[in-house]
Structure 1
């Protein structure tokens, strides 16, 4: 079996090829997460009334968040299907397919009639489209990570792999920015009647732009080398489970804490600030916008920092901080001060950045190159089931049951502890070995894998 660190092998594409791969990974993932984040925000703000009407507002919110969870439950299917295809037919083709899938689903949500118009068919169709979104996202992340990292120098894998990690905050920033503008310029009735649809319909334009970028990109040098050596796996899913179970377990568990923390500070905080603290929708969205905008810079910085210090140590220390901060955050915002809300969300998302920046490189380094798309995708999607999928539901249920923020903070602390366990099971990168492999492979495969 090849050494787990060989995947980032040659960099014959030159700086222009690396730059194009980085941009394609970042922009494509950002556009897909725009689609995903638009739904998340809409679920917190309007979907409870429009698709799941109930005399009890809490019931409507729970049902709306349940469709949010469907987007996570469907991710493993995307991870299994597209992860396998990514290791068999290539990264580029799969990444184009995932972009089309999630873009089409989001656009259709924008024209979907509500419960008041077609009855029960409305929430059923919403769930189906949300499922399709999740399948697309499930196949996207692993490929986006490899798209940038397999073009880059393994000594800077933390930075290059972070391109895909910038996608969620960038998409979240764009989605919430659009919703904030619509909320500020439209009346409450206009926003709930048709304003929210505009954000979904914009997806068609954005996905077209993403496809244009990805269609111009070459296949990654690593996959071309695997093709030339006839080393592509026939049953990558089975191989991951049978030959690399510890790597898969480490990669899954390390994601739980960041997923739960992110769900708190980008999704549930919208509901908590408006329903529990009586703050305006605009104030809550502003806090998320400011925090997400800073993440765009903090995530690649954290990825680059993890190339200079021990990646697991940086990740682990940040996970410990993630377990502590919620206890400070809820006390800080208890008075309903808008400035303190922004500060609390910014710090929470900064801590998330310090975990999320190194995360892609850490997960990719757990698997051998021929199984890396499958392994990374399975880890990403299966972690979502026990992390981000149930987080908003548990936050809502815990708050309803105990009428206190303490159980919420304890939940995040436990999730952070799970991440620390996952990191302890994983392995560090061997950059010196990676460099030897990179130089050897570059001499053998450079003519075959050069990007014009």
Structure 2
């Protein structure tokens, strides 16, 4: 294999992006750089739990949205719309978090940034549970809520890109899809945990107590989650990729070049990634954030029924995430993305119509859409970090992902709510998902397959068909076993 993007043994050599001497040499170097399996598993757990803490906040906030609407906004206003709008407020801060945390992560290291972001995230979520209500302090209540949502969004701007980069750089090249999928297992785990906590509270203390004070309890859970995640992350070293890069000239370039240099030099992967993040976020926040309130207020399911629909669907999605991640290691990421976006484009409208037919069919419709979305979700941390070289990977991922997410992710719930409420067109969320998939399919035409490629070095990783597949995966496993790992 000859490619300018395979790492040379010495990333600080005069020509770090030059061709490797041979495929075997490059593969051997990659095997030598692999950390022990136990360390890889600890890195996976630390990244996934931090991600679960982040998305627990979004999940808990989404499923108690109707309670927040009554406590933080005056009667007679569109409380649910404003509750979703305040969810979108956090996304305003995400790009700024990406601008700050991304370059810091490329300069200081992934580990230090991730420790700071998980502290900020869990603290902001916890404090929502102790906020005074509109009845108690008037307009100050929504102002304080907005401030905490901004803090949460700012920290998330570094958390997600950092966790995905951290996971990708620890994972073996031929198993990056499998290991990376556990980051998204944490995503759905956080959503599911938020749904489960609220459902159990409603069943145990009743909806009256839940509406009065019980809605605060889910936010308190963020504190122990964040503490465990911080402990796990503090025990790990920096990623092998960052350690190789740390004292190189490229590391200095990433710290001093600035965002303008990043955009000028790497505008192609930024544009392609932007196009892929559009359908990813529209589907994610339409299905997982907007859906609880939609099922309750538009389809008129009970609160417990709507939570059951979401919980069953999320558990089904979690069950298949590792299988999709592993499959992407065998056949590549692009095929799974094609399957997901074409499937969502075809099935979104009929599944939304099916969900309008009652509780049982709502479970089926939501689960089908969720399972079609999983091939995208499960391969994020294997696909996106590999689009940038090591010295700008954190910044490239964090800036691109968070800017597009702030536009299309944070606005998904309030936009869907505004259109459905004003027009009565209950299937609009399906049409919005379909439009996102069109954008994604265009971007996918320009995506270069990176499955199996090495993330070491300063060239953009790029694989050829022979670089990934069962034989390459077996060779990597044999090398690990031979090394006693």
Cα drift, residue 432 of structure 1: 6.0
**Higher helix residue share:** 1
Q: Residues 74-85 of structure 1 correspond to what in structure 2 (within 5 A)? A: 74-85=93-104
Cα drift, residue 210 of structure 1: 1.1
TM-score (norm 2): 0.85
Question: Is the Cα contact below 8 Å between 2:90 and 2:152 reproduced in 1?
Answer: yes
Partner of 2:51: 29
The runs of at least 4 aligned residues of structure 1 exceeding 3 Å deviation read: 2-12, 430-438
Cα drift, residue 150 of structure 1: 0.8
Cα drift, residue 113 of structure 1: 0.3
Q: Give the distance between the partners of 2:41 and 2:189, measured in 1 at CA.
A: 18
The more displaced of 420-429 and 2-11 is 2-11
Q: Give the distance between the partners of 2:440 and 2:105, measured in 1 at CA.
A: 27
Q: Flag the structure with larger Rg.
A: 2
Question: Is the Cα contact below 8 Å between 2:184 and 2:378 reproduced in 1?
Answer: yes
Cα drift, residue 297 of structure 1: 2.8
Q: Can you give the 5+ residue segments of structure 1 that lack an aligned partner in the other structure? A: 439-449
Which residue of 169, 174, 182 maps to 2:201?
182
Partner of 1:323: 345
Q: Residues 46-445 of structure 1 correspond to what in structure 2 (within 5 A)? A: 46-56=67-77, 59-232=78-251, 233-234=254-255, 235-336=257-358, 338-429=359-450, 431=452
With over 3 angstroms needed to count, the CA separation of the structure-2 counterparts of 1:317 and 1:163, relative to structure 1, is same
Question: Is the Cα contact below 8 Å between 1:4 and 1:367 reproduced in 2?
Answer: no
Q: Give the distance between the partners of 2:261 and 2:215, measured in 1 at CA.
A: 44
Partner of 1:445: none
Q: Give the distance between the partners of 2:4 and 2:120, measured in 1 at CA.
A: 34
**Cα deviation code 1:256-296 (max 9, x no counterpart):** 11211122222222122211222111111111111112222
**Cα deviation code 1:204-239 (max 9, x no counterpart):** 112111111111111100101001434312235233
Q: Can you give the 5+ residue segments of structure 2 that lack an aligned partner in the other structure? A: 12-28, 462-482
Question: Is the Cα contact below 8 Å between 1:11 and 1:151 reproduced in 2?
Answer: no
Partner of 1:447: none
TM-score (norm 1): 0.91
With over 3 angstroms needed to count, the CA separation of the structure-2 counterparts of 1:81 and 1:3, relative to structure 1, is farther
- Note the aligned Cα RMSD (angstroms): 2.3
With over 3 angstroms needed to count, the CA separation of the structure-2 counterparts of 1:143 and 1:357, relative to structure 1, is same
Question: Is the Cα contact below 8 Å between 1:102 and 1:133 reproduced in 2?
Answer: yes
Q: Give the distance between the partners of 1:430 and 1:105, measured in 2 at CA.
A: 37
Question: Is the Cα contact below 8 Å between 2:35 and 2:170 reproduced in 1?
Answer: yes
Cα drift, residue 3 of structure 1: 4.9
Q: Give the distance between the partners of 2:451 and 2:94, measured in 1 at CA.
A: 30
